[in-house]
């Protein structure tokens, strides 16, 4: 057992850690240990459904042990980073639990990420291995792996499916061997931050802190052995993973049904066939589901809870959930950095429809402050700061950034503008961070701006959000040309060729002569947002 923390991880101060242990939040259990316990308690119960495959708890547990042995044979061990980029498939869980048991550290990439992101994750985390599916959604991940390997020849590539020249995951199932149990206070994995600055940040979560949020979430959401959870969002994202998500369902002994695509045509039959009881969606998908369910006949009678989060759900859409889907709504306002808020099943309708919930834990500390970090009067809008038993104290290997992203007393600056109601519920009123929330997909403005600035015909650029009826927001890049402006499609192709994920490619390019400025001479993005919103209103598409 290794007691030294991962280099680049900021632990909680000792007095806080002691308090969180004494309160029973941190129980010293690992994620791998949690699955082991469940498999011992209910070996034959169904844990996972994915296409035609149905894995019991015993099977998931056994595969995780066998893969842990295989990964060890590849030379992986405690604290080695492994970038995992898998679509919604059963292997995702076997791979994760195998790595957890080995004490290796998965770095969760999203299927939408491309060369720019993967190259950064692999090099920044000094990853030793990269796990992919052969292909999905018409994209061949082995091609991507080849590009990454050209830069990082030591990287081992493991492929689910047809491995070509790489290592087949199927070849790694070995004879389980006894492994030392990792310390629950150690980093279990690195999650991705939505970010607002140049390069995506990595979020170190420990077994102790994450399992606390999972257990408490499962409890708040009333999960049991009877729960059947449809995972339609990308499986590695924090929301479907832990709020309460797949891990919450495993903790409760229920069943996770993985859907490869979240469209009603794909999932409504699955809900009926598997008698799904709850699921989690981002607002645009919730609206698509509402429209589909209103106009077509499907048996959704098993569904008792729809969770919506990741971006602000409109009050109108919130009010349609029960009448149309016949199930309860729960709003979820969370972040991969930690804090998660839920509306509760006994909350009055006005709160379920009109708020984004209240924190999980009595020890989640929430401050709503002005630009000088001073508390705003109760009920007024301010910056949300938070600290608590499952909120990180620092990003991975980011000392300089951490000094800005956290207060000196350890509160995380969420970048969200909120109002707190007397009940403790939060209403998300806006955002101070320089990010576009594209229907739950987070786009860090500076990251995309830096890519655009690499084009020789771009003198300067500012990426801002523009309103969108479906996604809530889309991105608009205001560009000051250097010399003759190049056509928008060429700029977009340039970005794609740089290997940027599609959701980060600007939805619109606007040329401009100069940027409006704030009183201190910075680009006035608010004015740009208003400008593009005005244009859209004048000439709707
Ligand atoms: C979830 O996590 P991330 O890390 O992708 O994004 C976090 C950010 C928040 O800071 C906030 O800006 C926004 O996403 N957000 C919401 C929201 N839920 C998240 N904004 C308005 N209303 C909501 N309900 O998105 C996430 C993680 C765990 C559970 C749920 C969502």
CATH assignment at residue 149 = 3.40.50.980
* pLDDT mean over 385-396: 98
Atom nearest to 337 CA in ligand 1: 4
20 is written with which tokens? 């969180």
Provide the percentage of residues in the chain whose pLDDT is more than 90. Answer: 96
pTM of the model: 0.98
Q: What is the pLDDT of residues 97-113, one digit of tens each?
A: 999 999 999 999 999 99
Atom nearest to 191 CA in ligand 1: 4
Look at residue 2 and tell me whether its pLDDT is greater than 70. Answer: no
Q: Residue 540: what pLDDT? A: 66
In the reported structure, the alpha carbon of residue 341 is separated from the centroid of ligand 1 by a whole-number distance in angstroms of 10
In the reported structure, the alpha carbon of residue 106 is separated from the centroid of ligand 1 by a whole-number distance in angstroms of 21
Distance between CA atoms of residues 214 and 207, nearest Å: 10
Q: What is the pLDDT of residues 170-206, one digit of tens each?
A: 999 999 999 999 999 999 999 999 888 888 999 999 9
Within-domain flag for 1:
no
Q: Residue 320: what pLDDT? A: 97
Nearest CA to ligand 1 atom 16: 311
Provide the percentage of residues in the chain whose pLDDT is more than 70. Answer: 99
Residue whose CB lies within 8 A of the most ligand 1 atoms, among 232, 335, 356, for a mutation test: 335
Q: Residue 365: what pLDDT? A: 98
Residue that terminates a domain, selected from 156, 183, 210: 183
Q: What is the pLDDT of residues 21-59, one digit of tens each?
A: 999 999 999 999 999 999 999 999 999 999 999 999 999
Within-domain flag for 489:
yes
In the reported structure, the alpha carbon of residue 279 is separated from the centroid of ligand 1 by a whole-number distance in angstroms of 16
Which of 218-222, 232-236, 527-531, 536-540 has the least mean pLDDT? 536-540
Within-domain flag for 31:
no
Residue that terminates a domain, selected from 183, 214, 234: 183
* Size (the chain), residues: 541
Q: What is the pLDDT of residues 282-337, one digit of tens each?
A: 999 999 999 999 887 889 999 999 999 999 999 999 999 999 999 999 999 999 99
In the reported structure, the alpha carbon of residue 486 is separated from the centroid of ligand 1 by a whole-number distance in angstroms of 35
Look at residue 356 and tell me whether its pLDDT is greater than 80. Answer: yes
Nearest CA to ligand 1 atom 20: 311
Within-domain flag for 235:
no
CB atoms inside a 10 Å sphere around CB 487: 10
Q: What angle do CA 23, 255, 337 make, to 5 degrees?
A: 45
- Taking CA atoms, 382 is separated from 416, 434, 444, 473, 538, in Å, by 8, 16, 21, 21, 32
State the residue range of the domain holding 85: 55-183
Q: What angle do CA 196, 201, 206 make, to 5 degrees?
A: 130
Within-domain flag for 343:
no
Look at residue 484 and tell me whether its pLDDT is greater than 80. Answer: yes
Within-domain flag for 452:
yes
Q: Residue 541: what pLDDT? A: 61
Cα 31 from chain centre: 18
In the reported structure, the alpha carbon of residue 9 is separated from the centroid of ligand 1 by a whole-number distance in angstroms of 23
CB atoms inside a 10 Å sphere around CB 10: 18
Look at residue 169 and tell me whether its pLDDT is greater than 60. Answer: yes
Nearest CA to ligand 1 atom 14: 310
Look at residue 1 and tell me whether its pLDDT is greater than 50. Answer: no
* pLDDT mean over 242-253: 98
Nearest CA to ligand 1 atom 8: 335
Ligand 1 pocket by C-beta < 6 Å: which residues? 194, 238-239, 243, 309-312, 331-336, 340, 356, 414, 416, 428, 431, 437, 442
Q: What is the phi/psi pair of residue 327, to 5°? A: -130, 170
Distance between CA atoms of residues 313 and 112, nearest Å: 23
Q: Residue 198: what pLDDT? A: 82
ipTM of the complex: 1.00
* pLDDT mean over 235-250: 98
Q: Domain of 520: which CATH number?
A: 3.30.300.30
Q: Residue 228: what pLDDT? A: 98
* pLDDT mean over 207-233: 98
- Taking CA atoms, 425 is separated from 218, 238, 248, 283, 398, in Å, by 19, 21, 23, 19, 31
Distance between CA atoms of residues 222 and 188, nearest Å: 26
Within-domain flag for 4:
no
Within-domain flag for 269:
no
Residue that terminates a domain, selected from 140, 166, 183: 183
What is the number of domains present in the chain?
2
CB atoms inside a 10 Å sphere around CB 499: 18
What interhelical angle do 91-102 and 31-41 show, nearest 10? Answer: 120
């Amino acid at each position: 057992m290794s007691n030294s923390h991962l280099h680049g991880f900021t632990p909680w101060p000792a007095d806080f850690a002691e308090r969180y242990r004494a309160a029973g939040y941190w129980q010293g259990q690992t994620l791998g240990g949690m699955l082991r316990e469940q498999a011992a308690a209910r070996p034959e119960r169904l844990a996972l459904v994915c296409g035609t495959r149905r894995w019991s708890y015993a099977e998931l547990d056994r595969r995780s042990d066998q893969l842990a042995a295989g990964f060890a044979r590849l030379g992986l061990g405690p604290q080695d980073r492994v970038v995992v980029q898998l679509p919604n498939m059963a292997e995702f869980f076997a791979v994760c639990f195998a790595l957890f048991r080995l004490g290796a550290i998965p770095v969760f990439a999203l299927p939408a990420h491309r060369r720019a992101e993967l190259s950064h994750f692999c090099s920044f985390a000094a990853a030793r291995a990269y796990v992919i599916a052969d292909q999905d959604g018409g994209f061949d991940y082995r091609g991507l792996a080849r590009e990454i390997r050209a830069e990082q020849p030591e990287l081992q590539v493991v492929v689910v499916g047809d491995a070509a020249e790489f290592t087949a995951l199927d070849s790694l199932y070995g004879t389980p061997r006894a492994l030392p149990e990792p310390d629950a206070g150690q980093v279990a994995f690195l999650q991705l931050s939505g970010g607002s600055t140049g390069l995506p940040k990595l979020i170190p979560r420990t077994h102790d802190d994450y399992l606390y949020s999972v257990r408490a979430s499962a409890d708040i959401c009333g999960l049991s052995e009877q729960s059947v959870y449809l995972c339609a969002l990308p499986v590695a994202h924090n929301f479907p993973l832990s709020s309460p998500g797949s891990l919450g369902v495993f903790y409760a002994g229920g069943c996770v049904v993985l859907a490869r695509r979240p469209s009603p045509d794909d999932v409504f039959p699955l809900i009926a066939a598997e008698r799904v009881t709850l699921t989690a969606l981002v607002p645009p998908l919730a609206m698509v589901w509402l429209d589909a369910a209103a106009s077509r006949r499907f048996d959704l009678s098993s569904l008792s809870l729809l969770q919506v989060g990741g971006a602000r759900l409109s009050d109108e859409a919130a009010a349609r959930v029960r009448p149309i889907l016949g199930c309860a709504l729960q709003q979820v306002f969370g972040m991969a950095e930690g804090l998660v808020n839920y509306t509760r099943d006994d909350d009055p309708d006005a709160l379920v429809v009109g708020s984004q919930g209240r924190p999980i834990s009595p020890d989640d500390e929430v401050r709503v402050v002005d630009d000088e970090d001073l508390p705003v009067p109760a009920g007024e809008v301010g910056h949300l700061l938070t600290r608590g038993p499952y909120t990180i104290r620092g990003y991975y290997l980011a000392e300089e950034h951490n000094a800005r992203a956290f207060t000196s007393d350890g509160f995380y600056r969420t970048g969200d503008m909120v109002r707190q109601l007397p009940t403790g519920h939060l209403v998300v009123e806006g955002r101070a961070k320089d990010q576009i929330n594209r229907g739950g997909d987070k786009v860090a403005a500076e990251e995309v701006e830096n890519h655009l600035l690499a084009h020789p015909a771009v003198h300067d650029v500012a990426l801002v959000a523009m309103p969108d009826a479906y996604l809530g927001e889309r991105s608009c890049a205001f560009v000051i040309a250097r010399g003759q402006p190049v056509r928008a499609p060429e700029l977009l192709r340039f970005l794609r060729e740089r290997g940027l994920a599609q959701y980060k490619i600007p939805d619109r390019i606007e040329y401009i002569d100069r940027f409006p400025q704030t009183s201190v001479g910075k680009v006035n993005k608010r004015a740009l947002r208003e400008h593009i919103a005005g244009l859209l209103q004048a000439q709707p598409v």
